Amino acid sequence: MSLYSSIFIIRGGNLVMYELTTIVEFEAAHRMADYPGKCSRLHGHNWKVEVTVAGNSLDNIGMLIDFRLLKQKVNEIIETLDHYYLNELEDFRDQNPSAENIARYIFQKLGAQFAKNITLQQVKVWESPHSAVAYRED
């Protein structure tokens, strides 16, 4: 697991925005019901998940959120997916565990877990090194 951060400062409108991203990985199997191709068969991925939060005020030690805490919150959700057959999980029994649905699942599970000064911006899920989906609620 690795993590990185970036800082955005908007000068014109007096808004200072900090954006932090953590990246975690998990392994899981799934199949895409009714898919017209080989993805309809059971297969697995080494999934990568990027979670981005943002805010404009820092705490008394100069941090928006401790990376350790951010990663802990993300990992609590990832543990419910890691090394599972996703189609058998309750949240995916009535919908395919597509990258899109997995990204929404993670976003919605994480959404209310942050302090009021922190907003969950986006969850990006990579199912391969070249294919990813981003989910956000604007």
Please give the positions annotated as active site.
Answer: 39, 83, 127
Q: Please, is 85 exposed, middle or buried when counting C-beta atoms within 10 Å of its C-beta (0-12, 13-18, 19+)? A: middle
Contact 120, 126 (CB under 8 A): no
Q: Which of 80, 98, 91 is nearest to 43 (CA)?
A: 98
What are the structure tokens assigned to 59, written together? 């705490």
